[in-house]
Amino acid sequence: MTDMHAFKRAFIIVLDSFGIGAEPDAKEFGDGDCNTLRSIVASKEYDTPNMKKLGLFNIDGVGCGTPEAQPIGAFARLRELSRGKDTTTGHWEIAGIISERPMPTYPDGVPPEVIAELEKAFGRKIICNKPYSGTKVIHDYGREQKETGALIVYTSADSVLQIAAHEDDVPVEQLYEYCRMARKIMQGEHGVGRIIARPYVGEYPNYTRTPRRHDFSLDPTGDTMMDALARKGLATIGVGKISDIFAGRSISRTLGINKDNVDGMEKTLKLMDEDFTGLAFVNLVDFDMQYGHRRDIDGYAKASTVFDRQLGEFMVKMKDDDLLMITADHGCDPGAPGTDHTREYVPLLMYGKHVKAGLNLGTYPTFAMIGATISDIFGADLYTKGESLLPRIIE
């Protein structure tokens, strides 16, 4: 452990699905030549001068964009060691947990015996039970849901079970309770990463999902950087769906689900005005949910541009003892076939007064380098396969 007390606050911002190129085992996960960054850089909507200055296009193997002549940040490429390419697995690995077994997915729908158990617990019929787009499923099944009082259950390429219902028919708190029931049932062999409540409003054909989505995650299966910091009484603040991803464990405070990426960054910018010692862990999900899965290249590029402007505000507000880390949890190449996540390397951009500028750290075998570094910064013990980058980045 390195006794270096240069940092009081660390901010990790996860650009959900911002991959930077296929990993060597991408074919094992059904992916070809995927590169989320390469796809969006080609769009006329893409303009991220601040990330460029930090060294985004100087990262090994990126293969797109123009490298910065004199980067102001330290930068690295991280490979996922876990057997997955989903939100839960990626975030858990960032925090220090390596998932050696993939979480279950249901390309043909959840097995009938599990559906029967869920229907018995809910006291309601289940309809759909297929992989589906979240907006299309309520369009296709919304009228049947209203007519029958059934619950729309669907999944995706991720390890998830999603339960949708109209707020007029199933109050949101009741929908949350159904998800809690499902979470208790779906453990072990059927322990999907997340059970997700998907409330919606409106009339056919104009249904709209509401921001009252809520994720009910598995309890983390190992020690996390938040656990390590919590044992020392330090702040562990979640912005966006971080608390949901970690089932609330060792999150000292959550600022809740973001309305969108802009709202998430506004919350983060406001948080910078507070005096705390520890970690702020931020997830910006629109890159993935709104643009990656929908294969919207221009939308993804524009969202990156908007984030970069807010990043500029963030960098101006940073204090001398702040550390910024920007990364991702997997890829979701909007230029790739299908709608699934893509198995990609992720970037790690680090910036602060005490971070060596222009430092190319190369490629590392696990996202858990981040968790190890955070724990080292705060002198907290964490058991993980990641190694701290602190001795290398400290100015």
Point out which residues pair with 237 in neighbouring strands.
253, 280
Give yes or no for residue 377 having a pLDDT over 90: yes
For residues 257 and 329, membership in a common domain is answered with yes
Query: Across the chain, what does the average pLDDT equal?
Result: 96
3-state secondary structure of 1: coil
Q: Report the distance separating Cα 85 and Cα 159, nearest Å.
A: 9
For residues 232 and 360, membership in a common domain is answered with yes
Reading the block at residue 368, the tokens are 């858990």
Prior bond of 337 cis (ω within 30°): no
Is residue 28 one of the residues assigned to a domain?
Answer: yes
Domain endpoint, select from 217, 241, 271: 217
For residues 300 and 353, membership in a common domain is answered with yes
CATH of the domain at 311: 3.40.720.10
Specify the residue for token string 């390469």: 38
CA-nearest of 230, 352, 225, 332 to 284 is 332
Reading the block at residue 54, the tokens are 């930090």
Is residue 107 one of the residues assigned to a domain?
Answer: no
Q: Domain total for the chain?
A: 2
Domain endpoint, select from 189, 217, 245: 217
Is residue 1 one of the residues assigned to a domain?
Answer: no
For residues 284 and 332, membership in a common domain is answered with yes
Which range marks the domain in which residue 163 is found? 112-217
Give yes or no for residue 118 having a pLDDT over 80: yes
Question: For residue 190, which amino acid is it?
Answer: H
Residue 285 vs residues 18, 137, 183, 190, 209: alpha-carbon distances, Å: 10, 20, 22, 25, 15
For residues 321 and 182, membership in a common domain is answered with no
Give the per-residue pLDDT at 111: 97
For residues 32 and 151, membership in a common domain is answered with no
The residue-averaged pLDDT of 353-376 equals 98
DSSP-derived pairing of the beta strands 160-166 and 151-155: antiparallel
Percentage of the chain modeled with pLDDT above 90 = 93
For residues 243 and 382, membership in a common domain is answered with yes
252-283 pLDDT, tens per residue? Answer: 999 988 999 999 999 999 999 999 999 999 99
Alpha carbon of residue 323 to chain centroid? 20
Residues contributing to the annotated binding site: 16, 288, 293, 329-330, 341
For residues 290 and 364, membership in a common domain is answered with yes
Give the per-residue pLDDT at 386: 97
72-98 pLDDT, tens per residue? Answer: 999 999 999 999 999 999 999 999 999
- Residue 65: pLDDT band (50, 70, 90) is very high
What phi and psi, each to the nearest 5 degrees, are found at residue 214?
-150, 135
For residues 24 and 83, membership in a common domain is answered with yes
Domain endpoint, select from 217, 243, 271: 217
CA-nearest of 9, 18, 1 to 348 is 18
Alpha helix ranges (H) inside the chain: 36-41, 49-54, 87-95, 112-122, 134-148, 172-185, 225-231, 242-245, 261-271, 286, 297-317, 369-377, 390-393
For residues 282 and 196, membership in a common domain is answered with no
For residues 82 and 17, membership in a common domain is answered with yes
Is residue 68 one of the residues assigned to a domain?
Answer: yes
For residues 227 and 336, membership in a common domain is answered with yes
Residues contributing to the annotated binding site for Mn(2+): 16, 288, 293, 329-330, 341
Give the per-residue pLDDT at 2: 41
Is residue 52 one of the residues assigned to a domain?
Answer: yes
287-344 pLDDT, tens per residue? Answer: 998 999 999 999 999 999 999 999 999 999 999 999 999 999 999 999 999 989 999 9
The Cβ-side half-sphere exposure at 28, using a 13 Å CA radius, reads 9
Is residue 34 one of the residues assigned to a domain?
Answer: yes
